[in-house]
Amino acid sequence: MKKSNVFSNETAIKCSVCGKDLMLDPEMSLINIVQNMDTQKIISVKPCCKGRCDDIIQRSVKAREVSGWKDLTDFLNPYLYIKHIASVFNSTYTGAGFENQEAFEDYKKLILSTYPYVARDITEEEKNAAIWDDAMPF
């Protein structure tokens, strides 16, 4: 799968159970998302292999929690990628959002690591603008 040059550092998407690089087989990978049934807040965001690794994550789900999933390939699809982010923005605005910092950081890591697969290549002019912007305090 084509990856843009938007980031210069490599960001692997690893199974949170066995550590496999999920981009070796994205069709057999998913994102397990656990939510609090009462608050609708996201408790955890765990990329993993379909099957055994997902089963292990699902076994850790507690009472009043619900485990759902999205295919990893959904986050490699430009339309579904931004649709999911907009949905999380909406739930954050209404007060749901994330129940803990780890879930927030894991979601952010997922979004950053899948972004090169939905983004176009960056031009030299844009690269220079990014260097200039990175030097600014905000």
Q: Which residues bind Zn ion (CB under 5 A)?
A: 15, 17-18, 20, 49, 53
Contacts of 29 (CB under 8 A, 6+ apart): 13, 15, 22, 47, 48, 49, 50, 71, 72, 73
For Zn ion, the closer of residues 30 and 76 by Cβ is: 30
For Zn ion, the closer of residues 20 and 41 by Cβ is: 20
Structure-block tokens of residue 95: 């007060």
For Zn ion, the closer of residues 25 and 126 by Cβ is: 25
Q: Is 132 exposed, middle or buried (0-12, 13-18, 19+ CB in 10 A)?
A: exposed
Q: How far is the CB of 17 from Zn ion (least distance, A)?
A: 5
| H/E segment holding residue 25 | none
Structure-block tokens of residue 116: 């090169």
Q: How far is the CB of 22 from Zn ion (least distance, A)?
A: 8
For Zn ion, the closer of residues 32 and 35 by Cβ is: 32
Pinpoint the alpha helices (H) of the chain. Answer: 52-59, 78-93, 101-118, 124-134
Q: How far is the CB of 27 from Zn ion (least distance, A)?
A: 14
Q: How far is the CB of 53 from Zn ion (least distance, A)?
A: 3
